Structure 1
Amino acid sequence: MTKIKKVAVLGAGNGGHAMAADLTLAGISVNLFEFPEFEQNIDPIKKRGGIEITGVARTGFAEIKSVTTNLEEAIDGVSHIMVVTQSLAHERLAKDLRSRLKENQVIVIFAGSGGGLVFVKILKDDIKDKNLAIVETITLPYACRIKGPALVNVSRLIRGILAGVFPAKWTHQILKPLLEIYPSMMPAKHILEVAFYNPNVLLHPVASLFNIGRIEYSKGEFYLYREGFTPSILKIMDAVDREKMAILERLGLKPLSLNEQFMLRYGESLDKFLEKMKVLGSKGPFSAKHRYITEDVQIGMVFMATMGRELGVKTPVLDSIINVCSVINDADYWKTGRTAESVGLK
């Protein structure tokens, strides 16, 4: 494939701000899309005519080519569609893209927790008829936060971005142009492998659930990374990690532990990362309705646990966390979450 010249960035949260600005300053034409009900996320960008980006990525003021709530306009003429929405929006977005996609486009889902499988299932006819490719990564390329209207800071560039491609036989040719803009991308065996490696699925739910009393009592004065990762919490995380690795082994893959993921991603151990985040971490979460539970449990944990069931791997710790989080939020995440069956793997 040729050099990437024009992309659509779908989602204008922290990651969307950073990606749109960084790629624009790299000389790539960017169309930034946000869902109409979240248009307030892009109003400041429209007003300023772009995004100011600071930190360790490319820095300066990036004049974004197009900022829109019109999906068809956003993906028109682009070679790559970068999906940086929350995982909860993947199914909707895939359905919205269906029938709008053009031949040979590449859809890249960042930190998907199985989002790539959702897109493959919904777009299966388009993939075949229009020669499309789907990529899923285990993380965003940036550690970033919106700091003000049309202002984003990138505190760290992420290393070791494992990426799976569908069809897997196209892995080399699909990743080659992406490596020019994100050289830390690494090929996975296939798109299913990366679905298990979003580190947030292990970090956020355990620490949030088992600190929920403190979170609710604090009334907004809680810092997860400063207070939440005690020795007992780390033991529970390790138990979930072992269940994840058992599933990967049953799939015939050589699993990476969470600590190995952090060595790959940051070049430092999980313990060192957590120590740094005591200083760098922001406030929150402030309730059980935070995406650390509503997204990471409902999407990431339910997917892992139901894959375990399909493969005959017991996941008692994952199951318990899902059950208790469902009770706390008056929900049934087993029914509403991303399951093996819902992505077509039953």
Structure 2
Amino acid sequence: MKIAVIGGGNGGYAAAADLTFHGHKIFFWQRSIKNTKELIKNNNTIIMQDHNGKKKVKIYKVCTTLEQAVKNVKIVIILLPAFTQKEISKKISSILSNEQIIFLPPGSFGSWIFANESSKNNKHNIYFAESGTLPYLARKKDINTISIITRATRLPTGVYPKNKFMKVIKILKTIYPSIEYCGDILSATLMNAGPIIHPPLIILNVGPLEHFSTWDIHNEGTQTSIKKVIYALDSERIKLRKKLSYKAPHFPLSDHYNSKGEEWMYGNSAHKNLKISKNWREHIDLNNHRYILEDIKIGLSFMYSIAEWLKIKVPITSSLLDIGSILLGEDIKKTGRTLTNLNINNLSILELKNKLNGGK
């Protein structure tokens, strides 16, 4: 299948290499002109490391423009931080083709942004989907090498418009068989693990993150007391899902840390393998890292906005956002991704769900 992979980070390189290895024609575009030139210089070849060893994978087409990547493909996978979605949606909306699928793994309700932009600039039928996490736990080792620790074994995915889910899910499962349909894109957004795991790990590790040149928030940064906060935050997420009548499985984060629990998104040994790899020992800039700008400012603020809309108290979410606001020097409950900023705060639950299903 012809697939566009948009994004040159960990997820983008993992998807480009892995999907190529599995026989798909990948049209790969990244924002970095320097890295694009380097990849072309290396004959479009990415070195992919996983549990089966190293493989040299030649990407079908390394593109220098978005239009080159998106034209004539069936699926466009966008693996860029959520804070780039407004910019990318404006650039891509007018060049999308009929019946294309835009897949954001995960999306933080970004499908809504892409869909609205496309409706302004494109008359074609475009479908959107987003998942609860990335299809890979992966880290770039250098410009041309990606290390994949594990692949998602259960990938909850929502579709917009929801009334096209059978068609969209059937196609997406041909590239990611682990996809599990979970309803509309709001359901998928409330499956997003990043805004639950990363805010406590960042905020409760802020001292060592500033003091040490590198720190592994998933190893020494994940202690019993910190996991208690993660579980409390996760209980607020699940409370919102239940209020909106979304059914189980809710993929509680406790299963991620319990090797004997129900299978989570990356399987039962993912956290153990992540720690062993040591690939997540890194320097985290508290002003610019995607854990802050994406998972706290966008993902967690959106969850808080949903809670406000539903009139449900979420004290852990609120407290983490208050501390995050101090760190960033702005009130991210207002400047983040909110229903008000998306112009849908005046809708009722029924009205919003009708729109997500495909209604006007």
The alignment's TM-score, normalised by the length of structure 2, stands at 0.87
In structure 2, the CA distance between the partners of 1:111 and 1:288, relative to structure 1 (3 Å rule), is same
- Asked if structure 1 preserves the Cα contact closer than 8 Å seen for 2:304 and 2:333, the reply is no
Contact 1:121 1:343 in 2 (8 A): no
1:28 matched to 2:24: yes
Where does residue 304 of structure 1 map in the other structure?
A: 303
SS of structure 2 residue aligned to 1:182: coil
Structure 1 runs of 4+ aligned residues shifted over 4 Å read 56-59, 272-276
- 2:204 aligned with 1:206: no
Change (3 A) 1:58 1:140: farther
Q: How big is the shift at 1:126?
A: 5.8
Match of 2:10 among 9, 14, 18: 14
Offset, 1:125? 4.6
Q: Does the aligned pair in 2 maintain the 1:33–1:69 contact within 8 Å? A: yes
Structure 2 CA distance for aligned equivalents of residues 198 and 98 of structure 1? 24
| Conserved 8 A contact 1:165-1:191 | yes
Alignment match, 2:285: 287
Give the number of aligned pairs: 335
Pair 1:97-2:92 in alignment: yes
Residues 22 and 59 in structure 1, CA contact (< 8 A), matched pair in contact too: no
Give the Cα–Cα distance (whole angstroms) in 2 for the partners of residues 54 and 212 of structure 1: 31
Amino acid corresponding to residue 105 of structure 1 in structure 2: Q
Secondary structure of 2:138's aligned partner? strand
The range that moved more, 303-312 or 314-323, is 314-323
The letter of the residue matching 1:132 is: I
Distance 1:97 1:331, change over 3 A: same
Q: Structure 1 stretches of 5 or more lacking a match? A: none
* Aligned-pair CA distance for 1:275: 4.6
Aligned counterparts, 1:70-89, within 5 A: 70-89=65-84
Corresponding letter in the other structure for 1:70: T
State the distance in 2 between where 1:169 and 1:306 align.
25
Whole-Å separation in 2 of the counterparts to 1:211 and 1:138:
24
Alignment check: 8 A CA contact 2:150 2:270 kept: no
> 1:335 is matched with which residue?
334
Shift of residue 335, structure 1, vs aligned partner: 3.1
Amino acid at match of 1:68: C
CA distance in 1, matches of 2:198, 2:119: 32
- 1:118-267 → structure 2 map (5 Å cutoff): 118-125=113-120, 129-218=123-212, 220-255=213-248, 256=250, 257-260=252-255, 263-267=263-267
- Check the 8 A contact 1:208/1:285 in 2, yes or no: no
Structure 2 distance, partners of 1:39, 1:138, is 30
- Closer/same/farther in 2, CA of residues 22 and 58 from structure 1, 3 Å limit: farther
3-state SS in 2 of match to 1:99: helix
Structure 2 counterpart of 1:158, one-letter code:
A
User: Match of 2:260?
Assistant: none
Which residue of the partner structure matches residue 349 of structure 2? none
Are 2:38 and 1:44 equivalent residues in the alignment?
yes
Name the TM-score, length of structure 1 as normaliser.
0.90
- Once the 2 structures are TM-superposed, how far is the Cα of residue 66 of structure 1 from its aligned partner? 2.2
- Report the secondary structure of 1:130's partner residue: coil
Which is further off, 50-59 or 85-94? 50-59
Structure 2: any 5+ residue segments left out of the alignment?
A: 258-262, 346-360
Cα-to-partner distance string for 1:86-133 (whole Å, 9 max, x where unaligned) = 111111111111211111111111111212222223223567x31110
2:55 maps to 60
Contact 1:121 1:344 in 2 (8 A): no
> Is residue 29–residue 64 contact of structure 1 (8 Å, CA) maintained in 2?
yes
Aligned in 2, Cα 1:91/1:6: closer, same or farther, shift over 3 Å? same
* CA distance 1:242–1:261, change in 2 (3 Å): same
For the residue of structure 2 that corresponds to 1:246, the secondary structure is helix
Query: What is the CA–CA distance in structure 1 between the aligned matches of 2:322 and 2:73, rounded to whole Å?
Result: 42
| Distance of 1:273 and 1:33 partners within structure 2 | 29
Structure 2 contact 214–283 (Cα < 8 Å) conserved:
no
Deviation at 1:221, TM superposition (A): 3.4
**Whole-angstrom distance in 1 between the partners of 2:290 and 2:130:** 20
Aligned-pair CA distance for 1:342 = 2.9
In structure 1, C-alpha distance between the alignment counterparts of 2:196 and 2:226, rounded to whole Å? 11
Quote how far apart the aligned CAs of 1:285 are. Answer: 4.4
Superposed CA RMSD in Å reads: 2.1
8 Å CA contact retained: 1:224, 1:285 = no
2:348 matched residue in structure 1:
none
Letter in 2 for 1:265: M
CA contact (8 A) 1:53 1:153 kept: yes
Q: Secondary structure in 1 aligned to 2:95?
A: coil
Cα displacement (A) at 1:231: 2.0
Quote the Cα distance in structure 1 between the aligned partners of 2:22 and 2:74.
Answer: 16
